[in-house]
Amino acid sequence: MKPQEPIPHNYSIRRLNMIFALSSLVLLAVTGLMVGYDYIRGWKWFQLEFMRMQQERISQEIGVAQAEENKQQLADLDAQDRKNEIELARHRDQYLSAQKELDAIEGDHYRADQDYRFVKANLDAQRYITEAAVVQHLPDAPQQQAEFERQTKHLADLQLTLQESTRKRDAAKANVDQWLKKIKDAEDKKKELTASVDLLNKQLGTVDMKPFSTNWILSQPLLDFVNPVIKIDQVVLNDLSIDMNYMSVPRVDRCQTCHRAIDTPGWESKTEAARLSKELQQKLDAYQIPQEKRKETEERIAQLKRIQDAPNDILNPWRTHPKLDLYVGSASVHPLLEYGCTVCHRGQDRATEFGRAGHTPASPRMEHRWAERTALSAGFFPLPRDFEQRHWGYEENEFIETPMYPRHYYEAGCIKCHSGQMGVDRGDDITKAEQTIEIYGCYACHKIANWRFTDLRKPGPDLGGIAEKTTPEWAFRWISEPHNFRATTRMPSFFYQRNMIDPNVVPPQERAHNVKLQDAEIHAIVSFLFDKSTHRPWSPPGAGDAARGKQLVGSVGCMGCHIDTEQVKDEKTGQIRLAKREDFPLERNYGFNLTGVGTKANPAWIYNWVKNPKAYYADAPMPSLRLTDQEAADVTAYLVTMQKPAFMNTPIRPPDAQAVHDLAKGYLINTLSDVEAEAKLRSMTQHDQLVYLGQRSIEKYGCYSCHNIKGFEGLKPIGTELTVEGSKALHLFDFGFMNDEQWKNEDGTTEHVIHTVPSWVYNKLRNPRIYDDRRTKVYNDKLKMPNFHLSPEEARRIAMVVVGLTKEKVAENRMAGRDARTRLIEEGRKRVSQHNCRACHVVDGRGRDSIASTIADANFLPPDLSPEGARAQSPFLFNFLKDPTVMKIRPWVSVRMPTFHFSDEEANTLVTFFAEAGKGQQFETSRGMNPPAQNVAIGKQVFTMMRCTQCHGTTPVNPENPPVPNTADSTSLAPNLTLARMRLRHEWISDWIRRPNEMINGTRMPTNFPRDAATGGFQSPLAMAIDTPPFAQYKATLLPLFNGDEKELKRTMGDAVALTDYLRDYIWSIGITQMRTAAPGETVPAIAMPQPSLPPPTAPALKSTRNQRGAAGNSGGPGR
Amino acid sequence: MKKFVSLLFATTLVFSIACGKGKEASKEDQGEDDETQTATVATNTASTAPAAAAPAAAVSADAATLTGMVKFEGAAPKMASIQMSADPYCQSQHGSAPAMEEDAVVGSAGELANVFVYIKDIKGNFPAPTTPVTIEQKGCQYHPHVNAVMVGQPLDIKNDDNTLHNIHALPAVNSQFNEGQPVQGMVSTKKLDKAEMTPFKIKCDVHGWMKSYMAVMPHPFYAVSQTNGTFTIPNLPPGSYTVVAWHEKYGQQEQKVTVGAKESKALSFTFKG
Ligand SMILES: [Cu+2]
């Protein structure tokens, strides 16, 4: 064969080998790097650290067990254990000999049994032979007969032997069993003695990471691929998916990878442990914890006490969730396996690194500590050394779509699922936050397409009749700075704000110019509003008594929604200072602060307004308190005395003609050429220019968003829509020059903007103009959001809701309160909130703080409506809501239920809410019931015996106007019971008599059938009393009603349930059956518009021409 | 390659060493995550501990006695008579002389009665007597007007009147109760399980004028001043104490006192109108 020619190569094998060798090395090195990188992933450190902590904890527990005071006990245990061992050994011997004995006896028994069986078989054969012999008259019959008898006798003997043997065997067996049981008991005892130590040791084994321990070996590089000890923990949530643009992927929460103890009690922080143990102790003391759980609770308290006494506090991320009863815990409503973590907290679910998980700092200090690095790790990932310093490796990351909510904003996460509810049960923070938004009316300027914030009224009053109410001078000063007039007002400040006049921010030249422009705009707005205002003639009040008026304002219920002072005593310093909104219950800020109302409004307007607010504008939120003309005059006389003369002394600069011209032109040239605009302006008087500019300024500032202003109907609200603001990416927020900057607020506090969305929103709310700092902007481009002078707490709450409004969607089945019944209830709750019912009533267990702050005696407060659904009949409630004069239940109470002029629909919504929330039937037929005469007769006697008459009237009265009971003291007692049949639900009456204090804590209705402390059953005072001489006459009357059955009578007198049912039947029998129905949906008496014109009050500075009076009537639109 | 391996090894080493070490976060750092958590640590004072099951505080031979006098300075307020016409029964019980208000009972020489005097700061466990304290409702008034029980001591409330009373207790610490007593001679027994040293009000809603005050004490060192203004707190262990005198209308005062063994010390309190 011809030797093959070497195939020519274009490459050198040698070089190739080199390359191959090199690339193999590189590959190996990369693999090694990968393994190494994986081995030192950050999250592993957290697990190792937690294992170390666990190890420490367990060793400590073992240590505690071996502590000095336990030594003795342990020694005892040891001794017992030894004794036990010896006993066990002895038992074993006993057992063995017993077993041996049993074996021998078993043998005997077997033999006896066998003998018996054989003989019995023989006997059967013999019986046959004998019988056959006898029947066939065989000759050997007698012998056979004898043989049979002999064998029978033998069998009987054997049977006796067998029986004896069986008895012996059973005894031996019992003996063996006895020793067996003793052995088992002893072994159990031994186990028990060592169980806790064993358990601890076992636990210790699982967390042991000592070199060359099993765990340690399993965790070595490469070995850890097989069966790692340290591994990622995750919860997969298929139906709480994440929207990845056009695709939904399941949520995979890996938070537990580092937050190891999140669902394990016992790793709380010291402060949490203190709070929890206090809470549990209180519950324990109040017997709110069931008997079988008490021991468990006591152990938990002891554990929490140990945490508080420990030298070191447990730090995040190893802490237990502070609200295990609500979240994460398996028995909570949001168990970890069903809800995970990121549904509420947000954050990047799959991330296992601190920075990438979306952790968000709450303060600059926190941010800086988190982000700090030791020199070694700079630029790479954090090293254990960093972690120990709690430098977690935070980096600002604008591209994390769902950063976590920082501390103080946690409850923002509730909104996602609870947006269909007015309040979140046990989510006090978010409930209050949403209420804050409602009361400030944020939704008016910023559309929030969310059930909670839609279908609400405009927060400000209608301005269509402003000239009827006040003067341009007042209005000018008011718009300039509402806070100068009232410290607690919710009207925000639009003008002379930080970005316009603050000397630290705006150069002096520009400042002077801005002031002129701002002056001009305010003059313009005032001119426009007064120019367009109606001028209805309101009848003036008659002579009023201010003292009587003051008394009325303090007693009929005004103080539920209004505040009448601006001076409060500071709780900390004890000094009198200017009031803040937060000094009062939220509900009391609902109406305006009454101080200065005499300076603001004229007497005729006040008089007509307090008489019937809806006459001024139909959408007025204030209800009618049905003041008589004289009462209204008295109230007016009082309110007129509330003056703030100093406010009217601040000078008003006249509008600068050039400024008005420039601003107006600025708008005109949007549609006209410069020349046309100039010509147009020349053709206008200054007043016309002002009115034109006013209209444009109202558009610019969005006044119409909160106030009804004629000509602006249907305009879109001025502010940015906030429906999904919480999902807006960080880079879309304009921080201006304020990133990581401190700034000083007008109230003297220093704030610090950090580069997170919550921080941006919070600082924006604290002062809406700060992001203009150091920026050069033309006048009309400057930020316009007005300043509400929010306190840090208010700003935080509002910001919390804003960041909670996200586009993240949750499957319908995970949304809270979406069933039809709950929706009905929530609709009612919305009405309750809109009409501020909680100012005067307790609804759903909350409210009444407002009115209670002005009425000292709890017995004269409006009722607690918590049990209203179970209590009131729906037809009554409907009529009463529509027109509260249909029945006066407690005529002596001076607070009046106002007339809200509810529509049928609204009244129905409320009635449905109460019935459903009280789990009552919406409609029931009890009113027509007629209790049997016998029950009524018995009930009447019980009624007398229980002395109910001492407080309750039983003679029919006019339900609309019952007489006030004539008692010597000013207090009055209890409702007239003839009204009960029209008002109360049949079943509720007896239930109420049995347990009034359980239904309404603190009620004046005494508990007449106290519960037995041991059994919880009701006790009756009549059980004993019926046999005493003073009750002889009652007994005599009652006996025939029980057919003379004294035993039955006595039994009944001790039966609280039966007695209360008789009482109910009696009360039912005396009830009236007719009641005036509510006045049909009252139409508001509109005041006729006269044609003759009234000169509007004008200020010198606002010299205006006579204006045409606009269209007559009520400019308040339907609004809803 | 070798370099790599050693680098890897080094990193591993650093890592394992770091893992083995304890936390070193500095003290000031530790608090930071709690910047605004305001929950306060429950302080379990001796006053809330139940008095039962403690070694009986036997009267020691050294026991001191605290006596004293409460005076009222200034013109003695005139107590109005009570209008009882709302309940004819009540009125009939005060046929000859109408009942008087008891807001401030001042004697001719300014002795102030119904002042509740107690030691504020004595530590230790004191067993509650099992004999009940009784409040009587007689002639539509409470007798006594000011009183105290020890924690866990039974409180009997008796209705001697042939009319309805309800005992509406308004404690701040203990749970409130409101029981009707329609039957003459009826006794309701209550136990108050928490110390409440500042007396709370007990009222009757049927008879607006009826009121009484009750304290719940963790120890037996208290007294109510008599109509002659005197009070006596016996069997007091020697020591330094703060003595509080409380009056429903004139507020409360404190005095420091130190008593030696077997000493008998006299205090005097003066209230101004
Ligand atoms: Cu009474």
Contacts of B87 in chain A (CB under 8 A): 950
Contacts of B29 in chain A (CB under 8 A): 369, 389-390
The DSSP code for A964 is P
For the stretch A642-688, pLDDT in tens is: 999 999 998 999 999 999 999 999 999 988 999 999 999 999 999 99
Contacts of B8 in chain A (CB under 8 A): 32-33, 35-36, 221
Residues of chain A numbered 856-885 and touching chain B (CB < 8 Å): 859
Instruction: Identify the architecture of domain B64-272 in CATH.
Output: Sandwich (2.60)
Contacts of B186 in chain A (CB under 8 A): 1021, 1025
- Residue A1090 pLDDT grade (very low, low, confident, very high; cuts 50, 70, 90): very low
Could you give the angle at which helices A874-882 and A904-917 cross, rounded to 10 degrees?
Answer: 140
pLDDT of res. B34: 41
A371 touches chain B (CB under 8 A): no
**Stretch A282-300: mean pLDDT, rounded?**
77
The DSSP code for A3 is P
Q: Is the pLDDT of residue B50 over 50?
A: no
Contact criterion met (CB < 8 Å) for B209 and A286: no
Q: Is the pLDDT of residue A383 over 60?
A: yes
pLDDT over 70, % of chain A? 92
- Residue A870 pLDDT grade (very low, low, confident, very high; cuts 50, 70, 90): confident
For the stretch A1028-1066, pLDDT in tens is: 888 888 988 998 888 888 889 989 998 999 999 999 999
**Stretch A261-288: mean pLDDT, rounded?**
83
Residue B207 CA to ligand 1 centre (angstroms): 4
Q: Which of A1117, A980, A1103, A394 is nearest to A687 (CA)?
A: A1103
pLDDT of res. A1099: 41
Residues of chain A numbered 1011-1030 and touching chain B (CB < 8 Å): 1021-1022, 1024-1025, 1028, 1030
Residues of chain A numbered 296-335 and touching chain B (CB < 8 Å): 308, 312-313, 315-316
Contact criterion met (CB < 8 Å) for B4 and A315: no
Contact criterion met (CB < 8 Å) for A384 and B35: no
Structure tokens at A865: 């409506």
Is pTM beyond 0.95? Reply is: no
Q: What count of other Cβ atoms lies within 10 Å of the Cβ of residue B94? A: 16
Could you give the angle at which helices A1032-1041 and A1046-1053 cross, rounded to 10 degrees?
Answer: 110
- Residue B31 pLDDT grade (very low, low, confident, very high; cuts 50, 70, 90): very low
Q: How many angstroms away from the CA of A953 is the closest CA of chain B?
A: 13
Q: How many angstroms away from the CA of B176 is the closest CA of chain A?
A: 7
Q: Is the pLDDT of residue A551 over 50?
A: yes
pLDDT of res. A189: 67
- Distance, in Å, from the CA atom of A867 to the CA atom of A307, rounded to the nearest integer, reads 42
pLDDT of res. A286: 61
Q: How many angstroms away from the CA of A242 is the closest CA of chain B?
A: 30
Task: Select from A28, A275, A950 the Cβ nearest to the Cβ of B163.
Answer: A950
pLDDT of res. A287: 64
Nearest CA in chain B to A408: B36
**Stretch B54-80: mean pLDDT, rounded?**
76
Q: Is the pLDDT of residue A326 over 80?
A: yes
Q: Is the pLDDT of residue B14 over 70?
A: no
Strands (E), A870-990: none
Residue B166 CA to ligand 1 centre (angstroms): 6
**Stretch B137-160: mean pLDDT, rounded?**
91
Contacts of A221 in chain B (CB under 8 A): 8, 12
Contact criterion met (CB < 8 Å) for A1007 and B180: yes
- Residue B8 pLDDT grade (very low, low, confident, very high; cuts 50, 70, 90): very low
- Which residues have a Cβ under 8 Å from the Cβ of A1100 and sit 6 or more positions away? none
- Residue B33 pLDDT grade (very low, low, confident, very high; cuts 50, 70, 90): very low
Q: What count of other Cβ atoms lies within 10 Å of the Cβ of residue B229? A: 22
* Beta carbon pairs, A and B, within 8 Å: 162
Q: Is the pLDDT of residue B4 over 60?
A: no
- Residue A120 pLDDT grade (very low, low, confident, very high; cuts 50, 70, 90): confident
Could you give the angle at which helices A13-39 and B2-20 cross, rounded to 10 degrees?
Answer: 0
Q: Kindly report the CATH class assigned to A540-655+1086-1120.
A: mainly alpha
Burial class (CB in 10 A: 0-12, 13-18, 19+), A311: exposed
* DSSP-assigned letters across all residues of A817-850: T-SHHHHHHHHHHHHHHHTTGGGTSEETTEE-HH
Q: Is the pLDDT of residue A133 over 60?
A: yes
What is the domain partition of chain A in residue ranges?
70-193, 235-403, 411-456+730-814, 459-536+662-707, 540-655+1086-1120, 832-1020+1055-1082
For the stretch A422-460, pLDDT in tens is: 988 888 999 999 999 999 999 999 999 989 998 888 999
8 A C-beta contact, residue B86 and residue A968: yes
pLDDT of res. A197: 64
**Stretch A224-228: mean pLDDT, rounded?**
73
Q: What is the ipTM of this complex?
A: 0.75
- Residue A1102 pLDDT grade (very low, low, confident, very high; cuts 50, 70, 90): very low
pLDDT of res. A1108: 39
**Stretch A808-826: mean pLDDT, rounded?**
85
pLDDT of res. B45: 35
- Distance, in Å, from the CA atom of A752 to the CA atom of A760, rounded to the nearest integer, reads 10
Angle B36-B39-B42 from CA coordinates, rounded to 5°: 155
Average pLDDT of chain A to the nearest whole number? 85
- Residue A224 pLDDT grade (very low, low, confident, very high; cuts 50, 70, 90): confident
8 A C-beta contact, residue A81 and residue A195: no
Question: Among A218-222, A892-896, A992-996, which is the least confidently predicted range?
Answer: A218-222
pLDDT of res. A378: 55
- Residue A60 pLDDT grade (very low, low, confident, very high; cuts 50, 70, 90): confident
- Residue B38 pLDDT grade (very low, low, confident, very high; cuts 50, 70, 90): very low
Nearest CA in chain A to B27: A312
- Residue B202 pLDDT grade (very low, low, confident, very high; cuts 50, 70, 90): very high
pLDDT of res. A890: 86
Task: Select from B32, B37, B184 the Cβ nearest to the Cβ of A1030.
Answer: B184
pLDDT of res. B17: 42
- Which residues have a Cβ under 8 Å from the Cβ of A816 and sit 6 or more positions away? A417, A418, A420, A421, A424
Contacts of A362 in chain B (CB under 8 A): 35
Q: Which of A905, A906, A900, A961 is nearest to A612 (CA)?
A: A900
**Stretch B10-28: mean pLDDT, rounded?**
41
**Cα-trace Rg, chain A:** 44
**Stretch B153-168: mean pLDDT, rounded?**
91
Contact criterion met (CB < 8 Å) for B8 and A25: no
Task: Select from B14, B86, B178 the Cβ nearest to the Cβ of A967.
Answer: B86
pLDDT of res. A161: 86
Q: What count of other Cβ atoms lies within 10 Å of the Cβ of residue A1106? A: 10
pLDDT of res. B48: 34
Residues of chain A numbered 376-405 and touching chain B (CB < 8 Å): 383-385, 388-390
Q: Phi/psi of residue A2, each to 5°?
A: -75, 125
pLDDT of res. A177: 86
Q: Is the pLDDT of residue A1095 over 50?
A: no
**Stretch A1002-1025: mean pLDDT, rounded?**
84
